[in-house]
Structure formats: structure tokens, C-alpha cells
Structure 1
Amino acid sequence: MIFQHFIPQSLPSNLLSLLVLLSSTVLVTAEDFDCHYVSTGGSKWDLTPLKGSHTVSRTRDSPPTTMVDELRFNLCKNLKPMHGVSDDEQCPTGTRACLRKINKKSESTDRVIAVIPVASTSDIEPVLSQLDSPKGLSLTFSGSRYPSSSDALQFINFSLFCADDADPKADPTFVSYENGVVRVDWSSPAACALPDDQPPPQTPPQAPPEDEDDEDTPADEGGGESDAKPAKRGSGLGFFFLVLLLAFATYFILGAYYNYSTYGARGVDLIPHRDFWREVPYMLQDVVSHLCSTVRPQRSTRGGYIAV
């Protein structure tokens, strides 16, 4: 249908067979594809149990080294960057499926010899088709050209097989990578079509971002009073002291200017009401002494006579 007008005769037979398969399936845009509600051929699926990042690999011996094909993918969202891995050794942002070829040799550092974005959001063009034997769903994503200077398009095909008794968290299987096509098999209850009388699953509410997680926030210990009120009281007290400090600063600045402009005062004579501030320490000393003399007899009072 859609591919029959531009399939070149020089394409490998495996890729031709894949394109013929795609020509009889339903194509949707990346925006239309939603893991929460996938529909084709009159059937519908809920693929939310398969969400998240998954990593599968296969190992091939090539003495004296070993080749590891490492595939990372996410059916529903873009892959997050890998921590501790340089940008040139991982796929760019906006990749749904990334294939890395790693060469391993004993007593040598692993070498990443190829990084292939086999599915990119900008080129994804999801293709859905219903599987009959065994029952399930075929899902194909497309990627960019690799290398970028060639005409070799990349694809990844997921064969999701219905398995009622399978572990919901069972890992997918890396089947092959040939002629730019990655094949992955995955048995899961999520690959079983939903009953006709079951309504489409609703999109669950979005969880808060990880960096906004407030699990470490202590719970309220009061009788249901919000923490916002103590914060406001603290802010009001701080504002009071700020105003008081500004008032004192204004008093000393204006007083010093008055003494300077009126009396030509210099040095400590600039302090307004200088004699009063000199007496403040003595006044405080008298207050403390009076308080001590008032409290001391009460602490030492006891039965008997008091010395006069």
C-alpha cells in the first residue's frame, strides 16, 4: 500500500519482506501512538505494563574478542541518557531504541564500535498489526539512516505474544539484527487483546517528577494546622525587627547630620543624645541588680531567723 511505490529492487530480501508486511498494516503517527490505548484490526490493547526502559543483549564470539549487541528501548517515551557514558557512546536525545555494538577483550577496555538509533521519535512512524498464530500484536518503529550518509533505514520490530500465564515482568528477547532491522520477541499478558465489552483504559494521572519528590518532608505534628501559618508568623517577626533596625539606623544618621550641621560636631559628638547612651549601661546594671536582689531572698527563704 504505502511502501509499494518506492521499494527499490536492490533492497535485501529480509528488508523487502518486512516492507511487504508493513504495507498491509495500520500506520499511525507518533502523536497518535499511546501505550495506554493501542487499537488495530478491531482489537485493542493496554501496553502500560510494558512501559519503562528495558535493556536486552546478545553475545557473539569472535576470537580473540567477544561482540555484545546491547539494545535499550522504551515503547512509550524517549530514552533517558545513560549516566557515566560519554555522548559519543550513546544515542542522541529523542531516541526510543538504541543499539550499541561493544567489543570486549580480556584485560582490555571495552570498545563501543557502533551506536545506532534504530528508533527515533522524529522518524518513529509506528506500524501496528494483529498477530493470529500465536495471538498478539506486532509493533514496528522506524529510525534514522545509519550511517547518516547512506540510504540504510533502521527499524525495530516487536512481536508481542499473548501469554496469560507469563510473568508480567518477563524480559523481552533480542532475536536478531539483520539488514538494519532489529527483531524483539516479548511474551506478556499485556499482549492479549482486551475484551470487546471492556472500555478503553484511562490514562493514569502523571506522577510528580523525581526531583520534586517530597517523601523526606516531615509530616504535620499539629492538629491539622498547615505549616504555612508558622512560616507567616516567623516572617512577620522578622519584618518587625527589620523595621526596628531601620528606625534605629535612621535615628542615628539624621541625629548625626543634625549635630554636624547645627553644632559642627565631630567624632563621638555626632551621636545624638550622647549623654543618654552613656548612661544606658549603668541603667541596665541597676535593673539587673534590682532583679537579682528581688529574686535572691525568695530562693534562700527557709524556716528560722533571717540575719539582719
Structure 2
Amino acid sequence: MVSRRRQVQPFSPVSAIFLALSVLVLSAGAQDDCSIDRNGVKYDLTALKGEHTVSRTRDTPPSKMVDSVRFDLCGELQQQKDVAEADQCPSGTRACLTKINQREGQPDRIVAVIPLAQTSGNREISPLSSPEGLSITFDGPSYPPSSDNSIPQSFNLTLLCSKETSDITFTSYEAGQLKLSWSAPAGCGHEAGEEPPKDEEGEKKPAESGETRMGSGIGWFFLVLLLALAAYFGLGAYYNYSTYGATGSDLIPHRDFWREVPYMLRDVVSHLCSAVRPRHSSRGGYIAV
């Protein structure tokens, strides 16, 4: 009895590529908006997005106390992989204060982890006229959470208009409110239709910024290509398995084509080598007359 093997139909990668591209577009669109509009004056905080850390050190003999704050103006803080969960602020935190006690000859000891601002809390933005800038305040939960003497926490950033971006200054932490000061072009407002002010340091190095944009574009290209290939093989294998009951190498979409790829590459390399290699005459140096 001759058994006929069912032929596995090739799986079209069009839908897989479309799915991968859709995921990228949705993830890019899910980023928090850093644009602020107050009375027709716009502020673009995109240049300041991402995680920032600033700290101060206070002498408390015989030890020192380090107050370190992590914050993100446009999104939530990511959990740190090398830090225990109990030593971090919970998910949904935008500003987190960590108090660390340091003593010579002893390991650092975390004594308090305080969520200053959360995504679910209120955000107040007030334009400043003299000097020009913004006052941004995020509300947070009360700390300690299970105490009758808990204090509502908040995070305030005074963003001043400047042609260049300065270092962040830890101003104070009193009565549950932590205050920072920062000077940057993002603190300069602009009318609708005008381009937001740029950092003069960035304008002085156009070659470096161009290289950065080029590198970022190449990285996105390979990321899209990798996701498209992963979706193509994954969905193709699932399609062949669920539709035709394929197993083993039969799961690979366009299996015959991928089997020929090494031979095609070998032929291409052989052709290129033969084109580059100089040709020698087989007449031993004699010329026919």
C-alpha cells in the first residue's frame, strides 16, 4: 500500500509582516505626550523625557544620608532589575525618593523608599513669568501608608527657560514635597506654528546628531526585519501545524526555498570570487603565432 504524504502549503508572510509593523506603530503611539499647552503657549518636553536621577548628601554623624530621586516627566519609572522589589517604588510611580544611610566600613543601608508622584495622581502646571519657565507638580500618595501620621507626598520641578540644558539641582525636601530646579530650552514657550527652541549645544554638533539619527534608523530597520521574520516563521509554523498537522521540518514555511538558500549563497560567493580572482593563461606564457 502506497501512502501519499500531504503536501504542506506555503504560508504567506504578508500578514505576519503587517502584524509586526502594526505592533511597532502601536507601541510608538502609546508613548506619553510631553506637549503642554497653556493659554496658547506651547511647551515641548520631549527632549527631557526618560529617567533622570539626582541626589544630595547630608552629614548625619557618625554616618551620611544620601537622598536620591528618580523621575520621568513623561512616563512611569521602569523597575530596576538589580534592586530588590522591596527597595523600589511600586509600579505606576513617576518620581521615587530613596534614602540611603552610609557609614564607613559598613554596607549601604536603604532606610526609606518614598513614592513622590504617581501616574494616577494629579498634575498641576503653572507658567512662570519672571524668570520664564514652568512649575510642574505631581501629587503622590501619603507616606508612611499605614500610619496615622502619614504625610501626603508631591514632586515639584521648576523648569526654567535657558538656551542650554543645565544639571538638575536638588532644592529641598520638606513637609512631603520634593523640589528640583532645572534649566533647559524645553522651559521656553513658543506660539502655535513656531518651532520649539533647541539646545545650542546640539546645534554646535550637527555631524554627531546626524550620525545618531542614522544609527537610530538602522536600528529600527533591523528591529522591524527581526520582528517580521519571527512573526513569519512563528505564524507559518502554527498555520502548517493547525491546518495540515505538520511536524518537524515540515513546520517551516517555504521549506524548499530555505533548503536552497545555502546553495544559492555558495553560488553567489563562488561567482564573486571568480570575478575578483585574476585569470591566468593556460599556455604557459607562450603566445600563439
Q: TM-score range by the shorter chain?
A: 0.5 to 0.7
Q: For residue 256 of structure 2, what is the aligned residue in structure 1?
A: 234
Identity of aligned residues (%): 45
Unaligned runs of 5+ in 1: 1-30, 202-206, 218-227, 239-308
Distance change in 2, residues 1:213/1:85 (3 Å)? farther
Matches within 5 A, 1:86-125: 86-123=84-121, 125=122
* TM-score, scaled to structure 2: 0.57
CA distance in 2, matches of 1:236, 1:84: 41
Q: 1:234 to 1:198 in 2, by over 3 A?
A: same
> Structure 2 CA distance, aligned partners of 1:34 and 1:216?
27
CA distance in 2, matches of 1:66, 1:41: 45
CA distance in 1, matches of 2:196, 2:159: 19
Aligned-partner residue type, residue 87 of structure 1: E
Within 5 Å, give how 1:75-94 maps onto structure 2. 75-94=73-92
Task: Measure how far apart 1:106 and its partner are.
Answer: 0.9
Q: How large is the Cα RMSD of the aligned pairs?
A: 3.3
- Could you tell me which residue of structure 1 aligns to residue 12 of structure 2? none
Offset of 1:43 from its aligned partner? 1.4
Choose which of 103, 110, 130 in structure 1 pairs with 2:127: 130
Task: Confirm whether residue 175 of structure 1 aligns to residue 184 of structure 2.
Answer: no
Report the CA distance shift for 1:157/1:103 in structure 2 as closer, same or farther (over 3 A): same
Q: Which amino acid aligns with 2:172?
A: S
**Structure 2, unpaired ranges of 5+:** 1-29, 198-215, 227-235, 237-251, 261-289
> Following TM superposition, by how much is the alpha carbon of 1:199 offset from its aligned partner in structure 2, in angstroms?
7.4
Tell me the secondary structure at the aligned position of residue 97 of structure 2.
strand
The higher radius of gyration belongs to 1
2:223 aligned to 191, 214, 223, which one? 214
Indicate yes or no: 2:67 matched with 1:69. Answer: yes
The CA deviation string for residues 202-242 of structure 1, in whole angstroms up to 9 with x for no partner, is xxxxx99x9x963996xxxxxxxxxx9x962536879xxxx
Residue deviations 1:113-137 (CA, integer Å, cap 9, x gap): 00000001122x1101110111001
Tell me, yes or no, if the aligned pair for 1:41 and 1:129 is still in contact at 8 Å. no
Distance 1:216 1:55, change over 3 A: farther
The offset of 1:84, in angstroms, is 1.1
Separation in 1 of the partners of 2:151 and 2:222? Answer: 43
Give the distance between the partners of 1:232 and 1:182, measured in 2 at CA. Answer: 60
Count of residues in correspondence between the two structures: 185
- Could you tell me which of 184, 189, 196 is aligned with 1:188? 184
Q: Which has the higher contact order (CA 8 A, sep 6+)?
A: 2
8 Å CA contact 2:40, 2:191 repeated in 1: no
Q: 1:66 to 1:94 in 2, by over 3 A?
A: same
Give the secondary structure class of the aligned counterpart of 2:37: strand
3-state secondary structure, aligned to 1:52: coil
Q: For the structure 1 residues 68 and 200, does the alpha-carbon distance in structure 2 shift closer, same or farther, using more than 3 Å as the test?
A: closer
TM-score, structure 1 length as denominator? 0.54
SS in 2 for 1:88: helix
